[in-house]
Amino acid sequence: MALQPSLRPLIIAGTADAPHTLDIFLDYVCPFSAKLSLAIDSVLVPLLGPGGRYHGKVKAIFRPQVQPWHASSTFVHEAGLAVARAAPESFWSFSLALFKHQGEYFDVPTSTLTPLQIREKLAALAAEVIPVPSSAAGKFADLLVLASSPNGGNAVTDDLKYTIKFSRQNGIHVSPTVLWDGLVANEISSSWGEQEWTDFLLAKVTIE
């Protein structure tokens, strides 16, 4: 599946030239996405990373899945994309932190906050994850500053549009959804652990 160059940090495991691809559509404020993120980090990242059985064979791409019925979904995904630009090496760490704190961005906790206050909370979380000393934290905040025009978005709006259009044209409606080499793998579940992922990859990938 295609991935524009500016979003290369969304490859969270494996090498960019790996022949097989797991496209994993996740929403930061979806509890099932949070559950799957734990398996990704504990199982897939080691398997696809250096020294792993499938290193160079499979890559995993985080596909932001904005779900507008969650009121803060746009804001949290903007934050993820801002980290991808400001501190690409911290994108997955920030994503895990945001999944851990997702309850703070659910509908009720954010219902009394302004958009600026939500972005300030996200900036504080990013500052905890991005290594210091670093200018990246300041760059992160700058990327989320609204344009001077009344409806111009911010510096990551184009990236957000890309991710939303990508989901729409591929018929992705809910999170989590996982594609294997471009086709929906309905059997993959947020409840999968090491055994299920190991069996899946063993059946899909030839190791020479």
* pTM of the shown model: 0.94
Map out the domains of the chain as residue ranges: 5-204
Q: Which CATH class is domain 5-204?
A: alpha beta
Q: What is the pLDDT of residue 114?
A: 96
Render each residue's pLDDT in the chain as its tens digit; 208 residues. 688 898 999 999 999 999 999 999 999 999 999 999 999 999 999 999 999 999 999 999 999 999 999 999 999 999 999 999 999 999 999 999 999 999 999 999 999 999 999 999 999 999 999 886 667 777 888 999 999 899 999 999 999 999 999 999 999 999 999 999 999 999 999 999 999 999 999 999 987 6
pLDDT at 133: 62
What's the pLDDT at 51? 96
DSSP string across the chain? ----GGGGGGEEES-TT-SEEEEEEE-TT-HHHHHHHHHIIIIIHHHHSTTSTTTTTEEEEEEE---TTSTTHHHHHHHHHHHHHH-GGGHHHHHHHHHHTGGGGSHHHHTTS-HHHHHHHHHHHHHHHS-SS-SHHHHHHHHTSPPSSTT---TTHHHHHHHHHHHHHTT--SSSEEEETTEE-TT--TT--HHHHHHHHHHH----
